């Protein structure tokens, strides 16, 4: 198993410093870089563990706290295990934070994250991969659209609101994307219903974007997150296989 070095870092942005977790193989070499976007529950051990797994597979990984304008992680304190009874109170605090992540804000922040990665000796020079979960899937798609010259591959898992009627819906950037994309949608997910999946695929196809969308049958929204009751071990492993294959091809 590859030894991994993980540290807490600060990323300068136009709106202050974003705290983040940075992981890479502990071998002194440069490796393909990955920007990993958290889900709505935030930067926590579940996310740092996922970054470590990517680093073990040979990647240099940055996981920013995208709610950094509201403080360092954990911005919203969490129980060790998140169940259905915890969700209403948590989302009462989280939803306003999510609302602040407009397309313009994401464009600025993602530029800062990508520039920081580009300056690291641990990262191979050139385009990076992006992976996002829940809220993070939206951020991954926006990042691919705002920075086509810097993103070679992007993936979103149990994403929410990827192709809405809003004027800044991420799918409207399809004609700017040059990355290869993959989406692993949750089955029966009200935050990404079939009509949005269809709208997203149609926009990407018409724009000539290389992409694939799968619906993970039986998997609920949040299926990759082992610290929640929505975790699905089989779907999570499928996500890892597909994600590493994508980055292996594109990076």
What confidence tens digit (pLDDT) does each residue in 190-242 have?
Answer: 999 999 999 999 999 999 999 999 999 999 999 999 999 999 999 999 999 99
Burial track 40-63 (b if 16+ CB lie within 10 A, e otherwise): bbbbbebbbebbbbbbebbbbbbb
CB 50 within 8 A of CB 61: no
Take residue 66 and report the two structure tokens written for it: 């995208």
Cis peptide, bond prior to residue 74, ω within 30 of zero: yes
- The sign of the torsion formed by the CA atoms of 242, 248, 249, 251 equals positive
What are the residues whose beta carbons fall under 8 Å from the beta carbon of 189, sequence distance 6 or more?
A: 158, 160, 220, 221
Confidence of residue 177 (pLDDT cuts 50, 70, 90): very high
Name the strand (E) or helix (H) holding 187: none
DSSP type of residue 231: -
Q: Could you tell me which CATH class the domain 4-250 is placed in?
A: alpha beta
Confidence of residue 2 (pLDDT cuts 50, 70, 90): confident
Q: What pLDDT does 1 receive? A: 73
- Position 127 pLDDT exceeds 80: yes
The percent of residues in the chain predicted with pLDDT above 70, rounded, is 100
CA–CA separation, 38 and 161 (whole Å): 15
- Position 74 pLDDT exceeds 90: yes
How many other CB atoms sit within 10 Å of the CB of residue 15? 12
CA atoms lying within 13 Å on the CB side of residue 209: 32
Average per-residue pLDDT for the chain = 98
Nearest to 104 by CA among 72, 68, 162, 145: 145
Q: What pLDDT does 107 receive? A: 98
Q: What pLDDT does 226 receive? A: 98
The pTM of the full predicted model, rounded to 2 decimals, is 0.98
Q: What pLDDT does 205 receive? A: 98
CA–CA separation, 4 and 24 (whole Å): 6
Domain ranges of the chain: 4-250
CB 154 within 8 A of CB 144: yes
CA–CA separation, 87 and 99 (whole Å): 17
């Amino acid at each position: 198993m590859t030894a991994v070095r993980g540290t807490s870092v600060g990323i300068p942005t136009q709106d202050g410093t974003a705290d983040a977790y940075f992981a890479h193989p502990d071998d002194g070499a440069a490796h393909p870089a990955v920007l990993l976007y958290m889900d709505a529950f935030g930067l926590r051990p579940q996310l740092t563990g996922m970054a470590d797994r990517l680093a073990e597979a040979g990647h240099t990984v940055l996981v920013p706290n995208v709610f950094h304008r509201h403080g360092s992680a954990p911005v919203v304190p969490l129980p060790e295990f998140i169940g259905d009874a915890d969700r209403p109170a948590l989302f009462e605090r989280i939803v306003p934070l999510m609302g602040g992540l407009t397309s313009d804000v994401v464009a600025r922040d993602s530029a800062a994250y990508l520039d920081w990665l580009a300056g690291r000796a641990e990262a191979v020079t050139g385009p990076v991969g992006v992976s996002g979960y829940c809220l993070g899937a939206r951020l991954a798609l926006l990042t691919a659209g705002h920075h086509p010259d810097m993103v070679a591959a992007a993936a979103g898992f149990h994403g929410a609101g990827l192709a809405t009627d809003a004027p800044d819906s991420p799918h409207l950037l399809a004609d700017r994307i040059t990355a290869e994309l993959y989406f692993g949608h949750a089955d029966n997910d009200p935050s990404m219903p079939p009509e949005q999946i269809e709208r997203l695929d149609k926009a990407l196809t018409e724009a000539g974007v290389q992409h694939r969308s799968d619906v993970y049958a039986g998997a609920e929204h949040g299926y990759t997150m082992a610290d929640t009751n929505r975790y699905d071990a089989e779907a999570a492993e499928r996500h890892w296989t597909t994600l590493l294959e994508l980055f292996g091809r594109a990076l």
